[in-house]
Amino acid sequence: MSIPVYMDNNATTPCDQRVVEAMLPYFTKHFGNAASHTHSYGWVAKGAVDFAREQIAGFIRSEPGEIIFTSGSTEAINLAIKGIFELYHQKGNHIITCGTEHKAVLDTCKALEKRGAQITYLPVNKDGSISLADLENAITPHTILVALMYANNETGYIHPVKEISKIVHERNSYFFCDATQAIGKIPVNVNEDGIDLMSFSGHKIYGPKGVGALYLRRKNPRMRVQSQMDGGGHENGFRSGTLNVPGIVGMGMAVQLCSNEMSQDSERISRLRNQLEQAMLKTGKVSVNGNVTSRLPNVANLAFHEVNGSQLITEVTKSIAVSTGSACTSALPEPSHVLRAMGLPDDLAKASLRFSLGKFTVQEEVEFASKTIEDILKSL
- DSSP annotation of 32 reads -
5-13+262-379 against 17-256: fold identical: no
Q: Give the H/E segment covering residue 88.
A: helix 73-88
pLDDT over 70 at 327, yes or no: no
DSSP E strands in the chain: the ranges are 5-6, 67-70, 94-98, 118-122, 143-147, 175-178, 197-201, 212-216, 286-288, 299-304, 320-321, 352-356
Residue 325 confidence (pLDDT): 67
* pLDDT value for 13: 98
What mean pLDDT do residues 215-223 have? 94
Say what the pLDDT of residue 74 is: 98
Q: How far apart are CA 306 and CA 1, in angstroms?
A: 31
What is the pLDDT at residue 380? 86
Which whole number is the average pLDDT over 85-113?
96
pLDDT, average across residues 281-296: 95
Residues 332-351, mean pLDDT to the nearest whole number: 91
CATH of domain 5-13+262-379: 3.90.1150.10
Res. 278 pLDDT band, cuts 50 70 90:
very high
In sequence order, the 6+-apart residues with CB closer than 8 A to the CB of 222 are none
Q: At what angle do helices 40-60 and 245-281 cross, to 10 degrees?
A: 30
Q: Indicate if the pLDDT at residue 333 is higher than 80.
A: no
Mean pLDDT of 205-228: 96
In terms of Cβ atoms closer than 10 Å to its own Cβ (0-12, 13-18, 19+), residue 116 is exposed
| Residue 235: per-residue pLDDT | 94
How many Å apart are CA 368 and CA 355, to the nearest integer?
Answer: 14
pLDDT at 217: 97
Contact 262, 184 (CB under 8 A): yes
258 is known as an active-site residue:
no
Angle at Cα 180 formed by Cα 52 and Cα 80, nearest 5°?
A: 85
Would you say residue 143 has pLDDT above 60? yes
The three-point CA angle 50-23-239 to 5° equals 45
Going from the C-alpha of 158 to that of each of 102, 178, 240, 317, 332, the distances in angstroms are 14, 11, 33, 27, 25
Task: Give which of 160, 209, 204 is closest to 185, Cα–Cα.
Answer: 204
Residues 6+ apart with CB under 8 A from 36: 42, 45
Domain regions of the chain by residue span: 5-13+262-379, 17-256
Q: In angstroms, rounded to a whole number, what is the distance separating the alpha carbons of residues 302 and 281? A: 9
What's the pLDDT at 328?
A: 58
Q: Is the backbone peptide bond immediately before 141 cis, with ω within 30 degrees of 0?
A: no
Average pLDDT (146-172) is 98
- Alpha carbon distance, N-terminus to C-terminus of the chain: 26
> Out of 98, 109, 258, 328, which one is annotated catalytic?
328
Does pTM top 0.85 for this prediction?
A: yes
Q: What is the pLDDT of residue 334?
A: 83
Amino acid at 322: V
Cα–Cα distance for residue pair 352/349, rounded to 1 Å: 5
What is the reported pLDDT for 331? 54
What span, in angstroms and rounded, lies between the C-alpha atoms of 89 and 218?
Answer: 20
Average pLDDT over residues 14-37: 97
User: Are 188 and 179 a contacting pair, CB within 8 Å?
Assistant: yes
What's the confidence (pLDDT) of residue 237? 87
Identify the band that residue 31 occupies on the pLDDT scale cut at 50, 70 and 90: very high
Please, which pLDDT band fits residue 90 given cuts at 50, 70 and 90?
A: confident
103-113 helix and 73-88 helix, angle to the nearest 10 degrees:
30
User: Which of the 8 DSSP states describes residue 336?
Assistant: P
d(CA 331, CA 318): 17
Mean pLDDT of 174-198: 98
Q: Does residue 329 register a pLDDT over 80?
A: no
Burial of 344 (0-12, 13-18, 19+ CB in 10 A): buried
- Average pLDDT on 242-259 reads 98
Query: How much is the pLDDT for 292?
Result: 95
Q: Is the CB of residue 304 less than 8 Å from the CB of residue 350?
A: no
Q: How far apart are CA 105 and CA 360, in angstroms?
A: 29
Top-tier CATH class for 17-256? alpha beta
Instruction: Tell me: cis bond preceding 221? Omega within 30 of 0 counts.
Output: yes
pLDDT > 90? residue 371: yes
pLDDT averaged over every residue in the chain: 96
Q: Among the listed ranges 35-49, 75-89, 95-109, 328-342, which one has the minimum average pLDDT value?
A: 328-342
